[in-house]
Amino acid sequence: MRITVIGTGYLGAVHAAGMAELGHDVLGVDVDAGKIDRLTQGVAPFYEPGFPELLRANLDAGRLRFSTSLKEAAEFGEVHFICVGTPQRPGSTSADMKFVDAVIEGMAPHLHQPCLIVGKSTVPVGTAHRLSSMVAQLAPVGEQAEVAWNPEFLREGFAVNDTLHPDRLVVGVSSSEAEATLRAVYDRILEAGTPYIVTDVATAELVKVSANAFLATKISFINAISEVCEAAGADIIPLAKALGHDARIGNRFLAPGVGFGGGCLPKDIRAFLARAEELGVDESLAFLKNIDAINVNRRRSALTLARGMLGGSLSNKRIAVLGAAFKPNSDDVRDSPALSVANALQVQGADVRVHDPEAIENARAAYPLLNYTTDVQKTFEGSELVIHLTEWQEYRDLDPLHLSALVSAPHILDARNTLDIDLWRSAGWTVRAMGRPAR
Ligand SMILES: NC(=O)c1ccc[n+]([C@@H]2O[C@H](COP(=O)([O-])OP(=O)(O)OC[C@H]3O[C@@H](n4cnc5c(N)ncnc54)[C@H](O)[C@@H]3O)[C@@H](O)[C@H]2O)c1
């Protein structure tokens, strides 16, 4: 099939290459000409394991190309996937729909053939319905350009696998023709027995935000209990393990620490609540405000623990920060807890040096005043406190004995609870971990 993917960021670039891998003829479109140049040359504009290989293979096979022209997209595609950003609107908690709307305004006037426009971006419920009216008004082909919603659940760091082998496909459609088209697009994935859920468009839009609300709730739940553990001198790690053995609860997303960040969960729960307010059902989602507050508070708790470990003041203290990305295996720093803590430490007078294996370039763009290094040993040199804020495998593999010789004082705060703290302690380090008793 001839497929376009509009918006080639973390979601769209991988989706475009994934659709080409399934055998389709794909045109990826973005307003960022630099990004399109790099993709055309086979250079991934972001770090995502397995993506450079997928991109290169499909460019070489001639099934994948890129452009900045929405007109070209409109003329080429039978199916158009919308994958542009839906960030938090400045000065508000709702989603900013200006990028999605710009795609429809730019593309619809060039739609002369029947086609299916499929939203993948995470949007407030009611968006597909609103876009259908826009398309009907703006497109020469009128209502024969139909709008469907097919929310995306990929995880950065696992995006290639999640695109080619999703744990489910959800399609929200208004006609059997649209459903048949999407079935044809995903033919090879469906053959593998992937669960396939067909709904109306509003339900499909809501599945995505509900999934993210649930995941955020699970993380904030364990972090709330973690705060209680800290106050009571109890230990969140065996507690979480014990909860996770209950099959009704499960151990995934039950990792206590400095909380979630990134370009999805924080803005999605806020936008969900804002939309619920518009619909007059905000009472039902009022708990999401607490979920958000618990999460943001974890960053303050990390700061308080750090200050305590440094004798009550951060002023002029040399601090090594391990991690800048919002999570490992990604260079995405949007709403990163690690950078937010690093920045707060610096604002409060500490001399901070940040390390990350992949995210330094993006981190520097977001927080230009922080000091960065790509050499993890240099981060440790002369530090009075090390704070582990993004759980890269590289940090789990560090040798605490060797590193203790580089620091001014062997103090480490594990804000992700993934280091082997017994190993660090036996190498002479004073270790604190969020939600765990001091020893
Ligand atoms: N990143 C994820 O893991 C993920 C997972 C599931 C869903 N989502 C959702 O997918 C959407 C995109 O997220 P992302 O992380 O890929 O964002 P992103 O910022 O990485 O990418 C968005 C891209 O859209 C482009 N764009 C903006 N306006 C455009 C226009 N008018 N025409 C063409 N391109 C345009 C931008 O230049 C950018 O490259 C969001 O709604 C997000 O919530 C993201």
| Placement of tokens 């045109």 in the chain | 27
Catalogue all structural domains in the chain, each as residue range(s) with its CATH number.
Answer: 2-199 (3.40.50.720), 200-439 (3.40.50.720)
From residue 25, give the alpha-carbon distance in Å to each of 20, 22, 121, 152, 272: 6, 9, 21, 20, 35
Q: How many CA atoms lie within 13 A of 382 on its CB side?
A: 7
Q: Does residue 138 register a pLDDT over 90?
A: yes
- Give me the pLDDT at residue 65, please: 98
pLDDT at 329 exceeding the cut of 90: yes
For residue 439, name the pLDDT band (cuts at 50, 70, 90): confident
397 CA distance to ligand 1 centroid (A)? 33
Q: Compute the average pLDDT of residues 315-342.
A: 98
> Does the pLDDT of residue 241 top 90, yes or no?
yes
Q: Is the CB of 215 under 6 A from ligand 1?
A: no
Cα angle 410-413-419, degrees, rounded to a multiple of 5: 95
- If you measure from the C-alpha of residue 86 to the centroid of ligand 1, how many angstroms do you get, rounded to a whole number? 7
**Chain centroid to CA 35:** 19
**Cα(82) to centroid of ligand 1, in Å?**
9
What pLDDT sits at residue 433? 97
* Mean confidence (pLDDT) of the chain: 98
Is any ligand 1 atom within 6 A of the Cβ of residue 32?
A: yes
% of residues, the chain, pLDDT over 70: 100
Residue-wise pLDDT for 379-424, tens only, equals 999 999 999 999 999 999 999 999 999 999 999 999 999 999 999 9
- 100 CA to centre of ligand 1 in angstroms: 9
Mean pLDDT of 15-41: 98
83 is catalytic: no
- Ligand 1: nearest atom to the Cα of 155: 3
Ligand 1 proximity of 296 Cβ (cutoff 6 Å) = no
Q: What is the predicted pLDDT for the residue at 164? A: 98
Average pLDDT, stretch 184-195? Answer: 98
Which ligand 1 atom is the nearest neighbour of the CA of 13?
16
Q: What is the mean pLDDT of residues 332-358?
A: 98
- pLDDT, tens digit, for every residue of 270-317? 999 999 999 999 999 999 999 999 999 999 999 999 999 999 999 999
Cα distance between residue 97 and residue 131, in whole Å: 11
- 155: confidence class by pLDDT, cuts 50, 70, 90: very high
Long-range contacts of 416-424 (CB under 8 A, 24+ apart): 416/255, 416/257, 416/258, 416/323, 416/388, 416/389, 416/390, 416/391, 417/236, 417/237, 417/255, 417/256, 417/257, 418/255, 418/257, 418/388, 418/391, 419/388, 419/395, 420/396, 424/400
